[in-house]
Amino acid sequence: MSGGLALTLGDPAGIGPEIVARYLADFSPLPAPLVVVGARHLFEAAWQAVGAPYEVPDFGPESAPVALHDPGVGPDGAVAIGQPSAAAGAASHAWVLAAADLARAGHVAGLVTAPIHKGAWAMAGITSPGHTEALRDRAGVERVVMMLVGERLRVALATIHVPLARVPALVTVEGLLADLDVLHGALRGPFRIARPRIAVCGLNPHAGEGGLLGHEDDAVVAPAVAAARRAGIDASGPWPADACIPQAAAGRYDAALCMFHDQGLPAVKTLAPRTAVNVTLGLPFVRTSVDHGTAFDIAGRGVATPTSLDAAVRLAAFLVETPSTHDPRALRGDVQ
């Protein structure tokens, strides 16, 4: 399936299966051929709930524009909707790895992931805290960078799913330089920005205010920016986050590198509350994801919308340079 994308079901107790089904039923034409990855009986339950407008065959060498790959891992029956469980966590984790393996083998060009539940992964004994780390380990790469994209704003993170108290020790010159290298390469590569401009946020308020509000910006962040510039990366900073993130959103910069999770994500989700996309940079394949969680509180009610999923699929298709020529309406006779 040249240029195709794997699409995981996410945690089967959450809204993942229903937004995948709703997306496939309602959005045409699709921007890429899609391989749904998950247990067929769980997908079929969600598919029937949206009217099963066309047949979704098993994935194979001559697959239809929409196909399904069942890795044979998952609960045998139904799951308790809206409740985290070890069984659901193990299944969603296995589906992520199976999707990554499809990409590593060249069967698809990238993957899009529906939301998983970190607590369910922990209940299943999975040590990876989330998609980003699990995919890094599966792909065998040393460093990846999490980036959120919403409207014109791109925000990358120097640290991801760690307590705030641990962040200062994790922000190092070497780590920031590696992050800037990954970010610069991704912006020049799949994002097709010839001369990317990167703003680097300070760790502390006012970027440390000359040492009055913390020493890390002068001692760590500034040397990393200087080293990146010597390496040919157009990086600047450290800047106060409340100044450089709005400038990045206005187009002065092509991306901002933030020091911790909640320094950057609120701005993206404020600008694009329904269409922000999570992108993992540094993998040997494209990976995007929705920007929301499993929404256990509304799972199974049929009210979840696939808006963020649509944005994630469209961005992934752009990043793998997939032409928008795949229309599942042809499978149900609506178009010739």
Q: For the chain, how far is it from start to end, CA to CA, in angstroms?
A: 21
Binning pLDDT at 50, 70 and 90, where does residue 283 land? very high
Contact 254, 197 (CB under 8 A): yes
Q: What is the number of alpha carbons within 13 Å of residue 288 lying toward its C-beta? A: 24
Question: Do 133 and 147 reside in the same domain of the chain?
Answer: no
Q: How many residues appear in the chain?
A: 336
Two tokens at 259?
Answer: 């020091």
Find the domain containing 38 and state its range. 1-141+283-336
**Range 118-144 average pLDDT:** 95
Nearest to 276 by CA among 262, 286, 291, 294: 291
Binning pLDDT at 50, 70 and 90, where does residue 60 land? confident
Question: Do 278 and 288 reside in the same domain of the chain?
Answer: no
Nearest to 3 by CA among 37, 34, 38: 34
For residue 163, what pLDDT is reported? 95
For residue 336, what pLDDT is reported? 28
Binning pLDDT at 50, 70 and 90, where does residue 335 land? very low
**Using one digit for the tens of pLDDT, what is the confidence trace for 230-246?**
999 999 999 999 999 99
Residue 3 has pLDDT above 80, yes or no: no
State which amino acid sits at residue 121. Answer: W
Question: Do 152 and 238 reside in the same domain of the chain?
Answer: yes
Cα–Cα distance for residue pair 40/71, rounded to 1 Å? 9
Question: Do 38 and 84 reside in the same domain of the chain?
Answer: yes
Contact 6, 307 (CB under 8 A): no
Pairing assessment for the beta strands 110-113 and 286-290 based on DSSP bridges: parallel
Contact 238, 221 (CB under 8 A): yes
For residue 1, what pLDDT is reported? 60
Question: Do 25 and 147 reside in the same domain of the chain?
Answer: no
Q: Over pLDDT 90: what percentage of the chain?
A: 88
Pairing assessment for the beta strands 145-150 and 153-157 based on DSSP bridges: antiparallel
Binning pLDDT at 50, 70 and 90, where does residue 2 land? low
Question: For the chain, what is the mean pLDDT?
Answer: 93
CATH number at residue 150: 3.40.718.10
Question: Do 270 and 293 reside in the same domain of the chain?
Answer: no
Q: What is the pTM of this model?
A: 0.92
Residue 48 has pLDDT above 50, yes or no: yes
Two tokens at 292?
Answer: 């929301």
What is the number of other CB atoms lying within 10 angstroms of the CB of residue 40? 16
Contact 47, 75 (CB under 8 A): no
For residue 328, what pLDDT is reported? 42
Question: Do 192 and 323 reside in the same domain of the chain?
Answer: no
Q: In total, how many domains does the chain have? A: 2
Domain final position from 266, 282, 298: 282
Binning pLDDT at 50, 70 and 90, where does residue 326 land? very low
Cα–Cα distance for residue pair 66/297, rounded to 1 Å? 29
For residue 28, what pLDDT is reported? 83
Cα–Cα distance for residue pair 275/268, rounded to 1 Å? 10
Question: Do 127 and 154 reside in the same domain of the chain?
Answer: no
Question: Do 164 and 273 reside in the same domain of the chain?
Answer: yes
Binning pLDDT at 50, 70 and 90, where does residue 76 land? confident
Residue 322 has pLDDT above 80, yes or no: no
Burial of 232 (0-12, 13-18, 19+ CB in 10 A): exposed
Question: Do 278 and 199 reside in the same domain of the chain?
Answer: yes
What element of type H or E holds 185?
Answer: helix 173-188
295: alpha, beta or left? (left if phi > 0; alpha if psi -120 to 50): left
**Using one digit for the tens of pLDDT, what is the confidence trace for 20-35?**
999 999 998 999 999 9
Cα–Cα distance for residue pair 330/252, rounded to 1 Å? 43
**Using one digit for the tens of pLDDT, what is the confidence trace for 81-124?**
999 999 999 999 999 999 999 999 999 999 999 999 999 999 99
Question: Do 119 and 150 reside in the same domain of the chain?
Answer: no
Question: Do 202 and 266 reside in the same domain of the chain?
Answer: yes
Two tokens at 267?
Answer: 């701005």
